[in-house]
Structure 1
Amino acid sequence: MVSPTASDVHPTMGVKIFSAGVSACLADVITFPLDTAKVRLQIQGEGPSTIRYKGVLGTITTLAKTEGPVKLYSGLPAGLQRQISFASLRIGLYDTVQEFYTSENDNDVPCHLLSALIAGFCTTLLSSPVDVVKTRFINSAPGQYVSVPSCAMTMLNKEGPTAFFKGFVPSFLRLASWNVIMFVCFEQLKRELMKSRQPVDCAT
């Protein structure tokens, strides 16, 4: 009896979520300066600051010169927390839900659509508090919050638990539509590509 190789062993939901979370965190660390630059460009003109940013690279360079390179990673802990709760659940849950509703020979679009919607709702529900805190912390005035936990505690004390779910509906609609388009297209493309790789039986 031949033992299954590592590629033959079906990964558990825990493995999927962990792998997706680690990959998302690594991507976030590498690309976080771009997120910081995006936020600065979006809020440019607000507040007392007279610094003008020009383009993404210009914003990154100006931030590094005027506030130090570390400023490019301001809010990174909140970003990593968001990725752990957001990307890992989105990918891990979709695959698991899709397997629950789909038999081995059943690969229809409604199943993928339903799986994407369920994964999108669960992910938005669980990650919304972290996402709101991350957005609030990154967009806060200098010195307004000491850290990410202090930002969360301030929100809880001043606005109550509902503050962590502000923008839930548009967040879910955006993520759900993104999930449906991305995962349904992914499944269909994968299916067609796998068909093209199957050997063609030739009549002898």
Structure 2
Amino acid sequence: MAGDHGSKMEISFGGRFASSAIAACLAEICTIPLDTAKVRLQLQKKAVSKDAGTVPKYRGMLGTVATIAREEGLTALWKGIIPGLHRQCLYGGLRIGLYDTVKSLLAGDNLFGEIPLSKKILAGLATGALAIAIANPTDLVKVRLQAEGKLPPGAPRRYSGAVNAYYTIARQEGLKALWTGIGPNIARNAIINAAELASYDQVKEMILKIPGFTNNVFTHLLAGLGAGFFAVCIGSPVDVVKSRMMGDSTYKNTFDCFIKTLKNDGPFAFYKGFIPNFGRLGSWNVIMFLTLEQVKKFFAREVPA
């Protein structure tokens, strides 16, 4: 970013990490009700709807949000927000903060012009995989707390809060259990991270080539929506497998979860919760990227060109 009098603006890794964490946390707070709805829809099995001729408990994004709010109270929609913020500080800060650095390393010093899309995708895959490998326990606890609402009224809750959940899982299931679902989670987050960051980068570049468009809030909004759409289309199947493995301990491994889901619920089960997922990821990306573009300005410093 160019400054005045032959200077330019740069941002350190610490600044990129902090701005990414702040933007990701704000997006998480605003959109976690939709994420809770998505998790409930993904965990709802088809067989339930056939028992005694009943219909599924959760139907559609708004219907699921309304059901949760009515039966469990509005605060239930923000269940998992504490580990969600833990996750975004670690995962969001690392995956987004490292993206530009890794992208530049992959492009090399001799690149002229725009960085190829393939390099952007590789950078997104690498930073997404690394970040979630570190942050997986926060993701697990978030899903477990969101799934608590499925228990029958009066049934004892397994966890009293986020810190208790970390401790209880490690004590009862072993420390290794905090990395349950790490396989599909790495796949899911590497793929979605690449889809989000590379598509945002690419869509933003394309928009800025259109006469009349500048690097402003409207451009960031359009690019954020594009990033969310690509992320959901590409990442939904692994997202469903990840949520089911984390929310239900009966699955032996990733392959077992995939096969059982396909056999019992059919191929469309992998796109369960697609609308709330897009509603959530679309709005999440818009809020995150709009915030990120603004917050980065506070961490940027002027250096000689």
SS of the residue corresponding to residue 10 of structure 2 reads coil
Q: Tell me which residue corresponds to 1:162.
A: 176
Per-residue deviation, 1:156: 0.8
C-alpha displacement of 1:64: 2.2
Partner residue, 1:64? 69
Structure 1 pair 35/194, CA: closer, same or farther in 2 (3 Å)?
Answer: closer
1:51-71 Cα deviation digits (max 9, x unpaired) = 933322222223223322112
Alpha-carbon distance in structure 2 between the residues aligned to 1:114 and 1:53: 37
Distance 1:110 1:62, change over 3 A: closer
Residue of 83, 90, 98 corresponding to 2:88: 83
Q: 1:123 to 1:190 in 2, by over 3 A?
A: same
1:9 and 2:14 are equivalent in the alignment: no
Greater RCO, CA 8 A, separation 6+? 2
- Give the corresponding residue for 1:99: 104
Deviation of residue 119 (structure 1)?
0.8
Which structure has the larger Rg?
A: 1
Query: 1:153 corresponds to which residue?
Result: 167
Q: Name 1:34's counterpart in structure 2.
A: 34
Amino acid at match of 1:125: A
How many residues end up aligned between the 2 structures?
191
Change (3 A) 1:65 1:80: same
Change over 3 Å in CA distance of 1:189–1:159 after alignment to 2: same
Q: After TM superposition, give the deviation of residue 157 of structure 1 in Å.
A: 1.0
Find the residue that maps to 1:9 and give its secondary structure. Answer: strand
Which of the numbers 134, 138, 142 marks the counterpart of 2:146? 138
Cα shift at 1:121: 2.2
Q: Does the C-alpha gap of structure 1 residues 180 and 30 become closer, same or farther in structure 2, counting only changes over 3 Å?
A: closer
Mapped partners of 1:10, 1:62: distance in 2 = 48
Gaps of 5+ in 2: 50-54, 212-305
Q: Secondary structure at the match of 1:105?
A: coil
Task: Tell whether 2:133 aligns with 1:128.
Answer: no
Q: 1:191 to 1:53 in 2, by over 3 A?
A: closer
- Provide the secondary structure at the position in 2 that maps to 1:2: coil
Q: How far does the alpha carbon of each residue in 1:103-142 deviate from its partner, in whole angstroms, 9 at most, with x for none?
A: 2734345543442232122112111111112112222345
Q: Describe the SS at the equivalent of 1:146.
A: coil
RMSD in angstroms over aligned alpha carbons?
Answer: 2.9
> Could you tell me how far apart the structure 2 residues matched to 1:120 and 1:70 are?
30
In structure 2, relative to structure 1, the CA distance for the partners of 1:52 and 1:195 (3 Å cut) is closer
Report percent identity of matched pairs. 34
User: TM-score normalized by structure 2?
Assistant: 0.54
What displacement does 1:148 show? 0.8
Q: Provide, for residues 46-92 of structure 1, a one-character-per-residue CA deviation record: whole Å limited to 9, x for no partner.
A: 9xxx9933322222223223322112212211111111122221111
5+ residue gaps, structure 1: 198-204
Sort the Cα spacing of 1:67 and 1:27 in 2 relative to 1 into closer, same or farther, 3 A: same
| Matched position secondary structure for 1:139 | helix
Counterpart-to-counterpart distance in 1, 2:210 and 2:120: 21
Q: What is the rounded CA distance, in whole Å, between the counterparts of 2:198 and 2:37 in structure 1?
A: 32
Which residue of the partner structure matches residue 116 of structure 1? Answer: 124
